[in-house]
Chains A and B, each alone.
Chain A
Amino acid sequence: VNHPEYFYGFIGAASVFQLVYLTIARDPVRFRPLMPLAVLAKLNFFVAVVILVALGRTNIWAMALVSVDLLLGLAFAFVWLRLAAEPGIDRGDFPAR
């Protein structure tokens, strides 16, 4: 690791996002507005690695790692849309309180 400050910055932000996922898991109805951000977080890493692999700047085996992120991102999107189809669920981006 040539730049440990970047490395720890990434690890810290990513770890906090895992806690966000666990928070959403506690009450998915309440935290549904956060789900698109979770999808974005997962797909962001996937797209970045795909581009790096295409440019030959990283190993092709990184695709195996980020394919899990792709699956989780799709699962998040599926859950987000499925919850929206339920009666009684607020479909707005953020509840007006």
Chain B
Amino acid sequence: MGTVVVEAAPKSGSLITARHAADYGREVMAVPGSPLDPRAQGCNLLIREGATLVQGAEDVLEAIRPLRLGPLPGRVREDAAPAPSADADEAARRLIGDLLGPTPVVVDEIVRPVGTGAGHRPDGAARAGARRPARAPCRRQGQPGMKGGSVRVARRVFAIAGIYGLIVLLPLYFAEPLLAARRP
């Protein structure tokens, strides 16, 4: 339905993903950033080329609303976020909240003061948005929501056809000289 690019360098995979999304007729949205920040240049470029400027979840919902026929099943709700686990360290969460700001922060700079390994981030870090960039779904494995069955069937049909054809045709290269040699 739509693709949101939050951060993208000028020649990044995120821009390739956005281009594919545009090719497939999906709404492309981008979060703007400072022109001095190379990580925001891709997003700013997308906006200049016609992508929808979004600054929050509400902007995304507004952009995709015309594309939807029914009510939003996955509406943004307060209770939509996973509840913090019971053993979440409240002090660590508060510290992470203080470390986060409007400018980009490296995950390790948050993890280090909290004293937790990057592989064992507290729930607060994940919920506060200090996450690693999510990878776009692989196009070769199918688009989101696409059943992989059709692609698998297509692969098999064309592979069988190609192999069958080569098995039938390649011996003919050698058969013709043999037939010609036997001819009186």
Contact = CB atoms under 8 A, between A and B. Distances in A.
Contact of B150 (A1, A38, A83): A83
Query: Which secondary structure dominates chain B's binding surface?
Result: helix
B147 A86 contact: yes
Interface stretch (B85-93, B96-104, B158-166): B158-166
Contacts of A15: 165-166, 169-170
- Specify the main secondary structure of chain A where it touches its partner: helix
Given A22-B162, A27-B140, A89-B146, A11 B173 contact: yes
A28 interface: yes
B153 A79 contact: yes
B103 to A, nearest CB: 35
Contacts of A28: 151, 154-155, 158
User: How big is the B interface, by class?
Assistant: 20 to 34
B10 to A, nearest CB: 19
B142 interface: yes
A86 to B, nearest CB: 5
Interface of A: 1, 4, 7-8, 11, 14-15, 17-22, 24-30, 38, 42, 68, 72, 75-76, 79, 82-83, 85-90, 95-97
